Amino acid sequence: MEARCDPWILRGRVLCPRPDRPAFEVLEDALVRVGADGRIAGVEAAPADCAVPVTRPGAVWLPGFVDTHVHFPQTRVLGSASGPLLEWLATSVFPEEARFVDRAYAAAVAEEFCAALLRHGTTCASVYSSSDPGATEVLFAALDRAGLRGQVGLTLMDRGAPEAVLLAAEPALAACEALAARWHGHDDGRLAFCVTPRFALSCTPALLRGAAALADRLDLPVQTHLSENPAELAATAAAFPDSADYVAVYADHGLLGPRALFAHCVHLTDGEWDALAAHDCAISHCPDSNFFLGSGVMPLRAALERTLRVGLGTDVGAGRTFSLRRVAAAAYDAALLSGTAITPEALLWHATLGGARALRLDGRIGRVAPGFEADLVACDLPPHVVDRAALFDALAFRRDDAAVGAVYVRGRRLRGG
Ligand code: GUN
Ligand code: ZN
């Protein structure tokens, strides 16, 4: 993948996420200069006599969406209605994930997966692969060819699932180390390896401890599922009787810390929220998945009032969409149901800069500002969408009339004109 792009200038309506609060600065007619290194060199108001043509008339530009939680091997079973969680995993997920030992199958789905991310304006994703190292290699290569950004983990599971998807702790951790050596930091940090124990129930204590040790030794990010469903909570408490609660299971095995990203967090106690905050963990909020599996409603307020870093996750295939905008709409509904409303503007911030923060990439992406990498999307809005509130409403709720038109990563166009 060529690292450089031709320098270019974007002219248009640009939404710049603010670094100080979950909101955007709206630039009605801006010039964004993109350098040959794919970084933003300047952002300024277009002068009255500006000779640069508008890049995409009718479009609004914003940073690419960051999906903080998505399962590559669930692409073809997205929206398979066999929930709740544990039944859905057994019926719809594990048989499909077993197919990824076939490299040709994995390669075909990897192409579909990358195309789906791009179609919805996702430029960066935190991805669970299957438990097969070969499939994970194939996925990294596909993301690299597509020009996408992200972190990917071999999904670690050495118990609690059919034999066909299990991999024992020792070979699994050796495979993680080999994948990290090959891909972590690839192309100046565009791709990264993420240590990914599926969830406590699918890992022996030895595997959880080994995963934490590997992440510490190689300074790798960590992702897993946490407190999604009542039956899962009961089974986890039974499997780890020495740990005080679900968060303590991960803490007791060395997995809490600023590199850790926890998906769901639907049923946490105040004490568990406090522990996540004390360790500066990040949260992936996946409301569309939570609705589909009937898991419950994550109290977003509990995370935000503790200033935890929160990104949005599609959680495909329990999530029924690759669209972070649709997830933002689900998060709006979830927030109302949990008793504390949040604006579509704030949710779109969590889908962009908030996600970058959750992945600790906010030094490079998530803003439209000098020095940041030019990961940008254009959404084509109908001409009557003029004022500020209508703009964010249209992006979150009127997706049928406001398609993602163009997608750039590091200044290179990956989709659209
Ligand atoms: N918990 C463990 N594995 C999974 C998964 O694949 N999807 C969801 N939503 N929850 C999980
Ligand atoms: Zn998930």
- Residue 47, burial from CB neighbour count under 10 angstroms (0-12, 13-18, 19+): exposed
**Residue 372 confidence (pLDDT):** 98
Residues lower than pLDDT 50 in the chain: none
Q: Which residue of 85, 86, 88, 159 sits with most ligand 1 atoms within 8 Å of its CB, as the best mutation to test the pocket?
A: 85
pLDDT at 4: 62
Phi/psi-derived region of residue 247, left when phi > 0, alpha when psi is between -120 and 50, beta in every other case? alpha
pLDDT at residue number 401: 78
- With respect to residue 153, please indicate whether it lies within any of the assigned structural domains: yes
Reduced to 3 DSSP states, what percent helix, strand and coil does the chain have, rounded to the nearest 5? 40, 25, 35
Give me the domain span that covers residue 181. 65-358
> Is residue 250 domain-shared with residue 276, that is, in the same domain?
yes
Q: From ligand 2's centre to the CA of 281, what distance in Å?
A: 17
Rounded to whole angstroms, the Cα distance separating 144 from 160 reads 32
- Is there an atom of ligand 1 within 6 Å of 199 CB? yes
Q: Is residue 303 part of a domain?
A: yes
Q: Are residues 391 and 336 in the same domain?
A: no
Buried b (16+ CB within 10 A) or exposed e, 81-98: eebbbbebbeebbbebbb
Same domain, 52 and 70: no
Indicate whether 178 and 294 sit together in one domain. yes
**Up-side HSE of residue 369: CA atoms within 13 Å toward CB?**
14
CA distance readout (Å), 186 to 123, 150, 180, 332 = 16, 10, 9, 36
- Site to probe by mutation for ligand 1, drawn from 127, 293, 315 as the one with most ligand atoms within 8 Å of Cβ, is 315
What ligand is nearest to the CA atom of residue 226? 1
Q: How far is the CA of 263 from the centre of ligand 2 (A)?
A: 7
* Ligand 2 center–CA 209 separation, angstroms: 21
Ligand 1 center to residue 190 CA distance, Å? Answer: 26
What CATH code is carried by the domain that includes residue 372? 2.30.40.10
Q: In this structure, is residue 179 part of a structural domain? A: yes
Tens digits of per-residue pLDDT, 167-202?
Answer: 999 999 999 999 999 999 999 999 999 999 999 999
Pairing label, strands 412-415, 404-409: antiparallel
Q: Answer yes or no: do 41 and 94 share one domain.
A: no
With a CB cutoff of 8 Å and minimum separation 6, the contacts of 380 are 56, 58, 59, 402, 403, 405
Q: Which residue's CA is minimally distant from atom 3 of ligand 1? A: 198
Which residue has a Cα nearest atom 5 of ligand 1? 89
Distance CA 203, CA 222 (A): 14
Distance 375 CA to ligand 1 centre (A): 29
DSSP state of 56: S
This prediction has a pTM of: 0.98
Tell me how far the alpha carbon of residue 188 lies from the centroid of ligand 1, in angstroms. Answer: 31
Instruction: Give yes or no: residues 116 and 149 share one domain.
Output: yes
Same-domain check for residues 313 and 400:
no
Ligand 1 centroid–CA 134 distance in Å is: 21
Same domain, 283 and 243: yes
Statement to judge: residues 48 and 73 lie in one domain: no
Q: What is the pLDDT of residue 375?
A: 98
CB 147 within 8 A of CB 80: no
Structurally, the chain folds into a number of domains equal to 2
Among the bound ligands, the one closest to the CA of 284? 2
Measured in whole angstroms, the distance separating CA 61 from the mean position of its chain's CA atoms is 20
Q: How far is CA 211 from CA 130, 169, 223, 255, 323, in A?
A: 16, 9, 11, 8, 30
Ligand 1 neighbour 225 (Cβ under 6 A): yes
Q: How far is CA 333 from the centre of its chain?
A: 20
93 lines ligand 1 (CB under 6 A): yes
Q: Within this chain, do residues 339 and 393 fall inside the same structural domain, yes or no? A: no
Query: In one letter, which amino acid is 395?
Result: L
Residue-wise pLDDT for 273-282, tens only, equals 999 999 999 9
Residue 17, H or E segment: strand 8-17
198 CB near ligand 1 (under 6 Å): yes
Which atom of ligand 1 lies closest to the CA of 317? Answer: 7
DSSP state of 34: E
Decide if 75 is inside a domain: yes
pLDDT at 3: 53
Could you tell me if 164 and 305 lie in one domain? yes
Of 109, 86, 87, nearest to 97 (Cα)? 109
pLDDT score for 83: 87
Ligand 1 atom 7, closest CA = 318
DSSP 50: -
Residue 184 to residues 103, 174, 187, 221: CA-CA distances in angstroms?
21, 15, 9, 10
